[in-house]
Structure 1
């Protein structure tokens, strides 16, 4: 048996280990990117709900109604919780919150704020 045959036999399976390691890294990277994508979507949901809620509140306030009640209904209809509603004169500020992705023990919720009014 030649020296070259012994070396080839010792390296058999080395590529399989490398492929498995790279596959594991790619799976972990894909999972992390999925969580980041979910966080972006959830933040956009919170911001959209805040924007729509504050516009509804401003409209109801202009008509003399319950602005914060309208904001709460619109936020809930858009999948968010109303966390704050402040009416100061003709200005309305609202805050909303949606549940963030739960991965590896993360517990953070995503929040957004919006304002409507003159000036």
Structure 2
């Protein structure tokens, strides 16, 4: 008759391997979710910069100033970069970009657009 511990001797440490694997998988899932959340936040920040920049630019243009220069200042203050700025009648059209780091140490660029003009 064999002792119970002799039958399971080859399985010793299996729980530690399983636990380590589970922790590694959870850490990877957490990193991917964190990177996705960071990209979403960067997109929202770029959209906010575009909206505020377009509003400031449209106001400056309506007052006879340089709408694109006003928009660029507001966009830069919000951590984004103006890609294009154009006037379409009384409206100001603005496209901005921002960036966020990815999991591999690179940068992912996000873009946003906004249009503003006098109310009708």
Q: Report the TM-score range of the alignment, normalised by the length of the smaller protein.
A: over 0.9
Matches of residues 68-83 of structure 1 in structure 2 within 5 Å? 68-83=68-83
Instruction: Extract unaligned runs of 5+ from structure 2.
Output: none
Which whole-Å CA distance do the structure 2 matches of 1:5 and 1:52 have between them?
A: 70
Aligned-pair Cα RMSD in Å: 1.5
Residue 42 (structure 2) pairs with residue 42 (structure 1)? yes
Q: State the Cα distance separating 1:103 from its structure 2 match.
A: 2.2
Q: TM-score, normalised by structure 1?
A: 0.92
Which whole-Å CA distance do the structure 2 matches of 1:44 and 1:92 have between them?
A: 20
Which whole-Å CA distance do the structure 2 matches of 1:10 and 1:76 have between them?
A: 63
Partner SS for 2:57 = helix
Which whole-Å CA distance do the structure 2 matches of 1:51 and 1:68 have between them?
A: 13
Instruction: Extract unaligned runs of 5+ from structure 1.
Output: none
Q: TM-score, normalised by structure 2?
A: 0.91
Alpha-carbon contact 2:32-2:103 (below 8 Å) kept: no
Aligned length: 119
